Amino acid sequence: MKYTVLEETYVYEGYLRIKKGTISHDRFDDNSPVIYDREILDKSGFATVLLYEENTEQIILIKQFRYPTIELDGGWILEIPAGGIENGEDPKECAIREVYEETGYVVEHLELINSSYTSPGISNERMYLYFAEVHEEQKKGKGGGNLLEDEDIEIYKLHISEIRKELQSGIIKDAKTIIALQWFLLCKL
């Protein structure tokens, strides 16, 4: 099956970038092409880490304000550390940097859980989800986020015995965090 991008142009470039494209592609049932216009959120990938403090049996989460969540959830949500991959940056390097900025922990080894699209119907954003084990003594920095980016982050520790309860209660609203915690329950416990 074939596709052709007939035209692409940016219709908005700010904090987010929106690209409009005219696309033609073959159909599954025959070879007559379909042509249509679509807008996509053109976003670089991001790296995120499920951080497990092994000696205390706690998952390290962060709480921060997320503007898109204000209408339904009040703005502050729990999630795993994450951040955008800078141009030319390796996803692992990004993950290590973000963990340190947001939590203060120095990560030595990362295990790739998955690399996936977050919302392929509207965005090209790709998530690199990692797992890392740390110990309390690996907390070398303050954490709390990058002040140059106006991040204001609180560290939240979740004992592994509470993961199921927190997932069932619906307190955790962030999809990447839900995926990571479910993976932990399936693969590490």
Active-site amino acid positions: 149
**Residues facing 53 on adjacent strands:** 58, 134
Q: CA 137, CA 94: separation in Å to the nearest integer? A: 22
- Name the 3-class secondary structure at 28: coil
**Alpha carbon 100 to chain centroid, angstroms:** 16
Beta strand extents in the chain (DSSP E only): 3-13, 17-25, 34-41, 46-53, 58-65, 76-79, 82-84, 111-117, 126-134, 154-159
The token pair that represents 18 in the structure block: 């929106």
CA distances from 174 to 4, 32, 62 (A): 35, 40, 11
Residue with tokens 């329950």: 185
The token pair that represents 96 in the structure block: 């290590």
